[in-house]
Structure 1
């Protein structure tokens, strides 16, 4: 009887070991791309089932450009992303074609942990759970993977960083100054609080780093790491860096210091006003929390839109001029005291607005 029990235990252990060896789960981290949606990288999950001879990638960040009103839904925070599955070989072909490296971290999990992970993964991939509202900071391909690892008991450190989420984002945009300018224009002051290690995992590279340092039940989470593809180096010059917003706006500021014709003033006033309306609309109506409380609206004031007709008729408005000058001064104070950090390209824009408003105030004083 004892011998039979011993043999049974040995058989069960061997079956569990066999089942465990037949399933491999890995986290894939893809390097940054050149498209707007790919500049921060990507995270996916690879599952190899040797018994059923499948090798698939579970994707958390899929969307359809053909979605009706795509741009509006994205800005409103109502664009539905979805989870999907594709063959690993096809996944690698796409990222190799885009010249993006795919880094694999194979997880060291027990049979129970693998089962729990896969059950949760398959549940999330069910038709009724597949779609979700995207959030740049809180619900994307990287945070979904982080939360899935937490579900099986992985604990991540949560120490505060000496960088804000804006700092983390900007580090990816140094070679794309116009995109950096645009993103910082629409992001509010909440992005300027110091981030922490848990929050930083909204970025795939930071998730990869934290997974590499994580433990599960006292052992390292990662069993092995490797690069799955090879790519050619991309040495194309970036026209964004040559004609950066800092350069363009600086040249305009110098030009307008000596020559600021009426048509240019009308265009500038209208442009600042329309942009201010856009910032205000995002603040009031978008579901993305990161675009709310955006103090760019102080200098990029919607009131410039009201001022435009006065310029067209060669008229001035003392009250409007005083409000616009005051809002510009407040913007500078906000930046100096780091209430909200503005993009460096705003400096020459401040100069342009200063020239614009001082010239208008001088007209009022002459009357």
Structure 2
């Protein structure tokens, strides 16, 4: 701790000295752990004459935080800005077989002084903690904002990809994580992104920094890789056990053999997950999980099916309403209101079969009892007079 305090004091004096530091952006390649699959960004400050070489890391968090998972889901988990020795930082990522790329910035004395002053302000105990937001506030966006405040001219031109597509591009080798991520993220992720917004991902921050200017000059003056790693390319065999394959096999089995216990398990899982997604929509402070239309097909109402299936009973309105939700999901997908993971297709078919069985138990001759006008008026409200 004393070393860090001396380091901060030394930095505070650099703005008044001719002995200027080097400021670099470090980009770490993705790792195997869930929290590391998108890579990482940090700021390095070096001054050989003063033996200064430290990393400002906005991605610090404490796994031992009480109720860690619940706080993260609710958007209440505090991340913080920490300072690490650069050699230790690089060694940590080397041990995880992750490359560390350095971009040295082309800054004037005033620009360096402004960045260092802002970093020291953010490191103060009352300022260093922040609530993590996947799109708006993380290790990459904090660096982007610091560089913007120093005068970097970042483009905000719209791009063809949505934020969901940008995220999915990092999950090609982890299809189960991609499925879970797409299940949790709401329709706001399907809006077109732009060059500025996409810097919430470290790779795109690095890319934009390389192509940006600050006060009329290129922002980056040099790039180098700081470590070497083994080439451990993953075996693509893991993708054979993708959600799409597993759910398709489940659909095939369900078409041939679907006893009551299987229906109960599917209804329990679908309804239970739908309930969790609904609670996240209502109570989480993560804006990315709001307005999640996955709850239309992954509906908590499937939990009501459980006692009905056990007692061989059906409910005409419930069965019809859930059948309509599946059809609505298809139209939501077709008209790009929200994109769903392709692996949900066999799940939708399985749920359609379950609802069809419920309607068949009722007897299609009794479907005239369904209050269609009420449903149509709900889906297509008449114009007010």
The TM tier, using the shorter chain, reads over 0.9
- What does residue 52 of structure 1 align with? 50
- What does residue 244 of structure 1 align with? 242
Q: Given the alignment of the two structures, is residue 318 of structure 1 paired with residue 293 of structure 2, yes or no?
A: no
Segments of 5+ residues of structure 2 without an aligned counterpart are: 1-13, 367-385
Find the aligned partners of 2:182 and 2:224 in 1 and give their Cα distance: 35
Give the match's secondary structure for 1:255: helix
Residues 93-121 of structure 1 show CA distances to partners (whole Å, capped at 9, x for unaligned) of 01001111011000011111111110111
Contact 1:83 1:130 in 2 (8 A): yes
1:126 Cα deviation from its structure 2 partner: 0.9
Note closer, same or farther for the CA distance 1:291–1:240 as it changes in structure 2 (3 Å cut): farther
Tell which deviates more after alignment, 239-248 or 137-146.
239-248
Contact 1:178 1:240 in 2 (8 A): no
Contact 2:24 2:105 in 1 (8 A): yes
- What does residue 205 of structure 1 align with? 203
Give the match's secondary structure for 2:153: coil
Give the match's secondary structure for 1:334: helix
**TM-score (normalizing by structure 2):** 0.89
| Structure 1 consecutive aligned stretches of length 4 or more whose deviation exceeds 4 Å | 16-21
Contact 2:171 2:178 in 1 (8 A): yes
Find the aligned partners of 2:261 and 2:203 in 1 and give their Cα distance: 47
1:355 Cα deviation from its structure 2 partner: 1.2
Q: Given the alignment of the two structures, is residue 273 of structure 1 paired with residue 239 of structure 2, yes or no?
A: no
Find the aligned partners of 2:264 and 2:216 in 1 and give their Cα distance: 66
Tell which deviates more after alignment, 42-51 or 183-192.
42-51
Contact 2:20 2:109 in 1 (8 A): no
Contact 2:155 2:196 in 1 (8 A): yes
- What does residue 114 of structure 2 align with? 116
Find the aligned partners of 1:64 and 1:38 in 2 and give their Cα distance: 15
Find the aligned partners of 2:236 and 2:186 in 1 and give their Cα distance: 28
- What does residue 348 of structure 1 align with? 346
Q: How does 1:131-170 map to 2 (within 5 A)?
A: 131-170=129-168
Size of the aligned set, in residue pairs, is 352
1:302 corresponds, among 284, 300, 303, to: 300
Contact 2:186 2:291 in 1 (8 A): yes
- What does residue 185 of structure 1 align with? 183
1:253 Cα deviation from its structure 2 partner: 0.6
Contact 1:186 1:294 in 2 (8 A): yes
- What does residue 6 of structure 2 align with? none
Give the match's secondary structure for 2:80: strand
Residues 281-327 of structure 1 show CA distances to partners (whole Å, capped at 9, x for unaligned) of 01000000010000000100110011111111111111110010011
Residues 43-99 of structure 1 show CA distances to partners (whole Å, capped at 9, x for unaligned) of 000000223201001100111111000010000000000110010000000100111
Q: Given the alignment of the two structures, is residue 338 of structure 1 paired with residue 336 of structure 2, yes or no?
A: yes
1:244 Cα deviation from its structure 2 partner: 0.9
- What does residue 85 of structure 2 align with? 87
**TM-score (normalizing by structure 1):** 0.93
- What does residue 36 of structure 1 align with? 34
Give the match's secondary structure for 1:51: helix
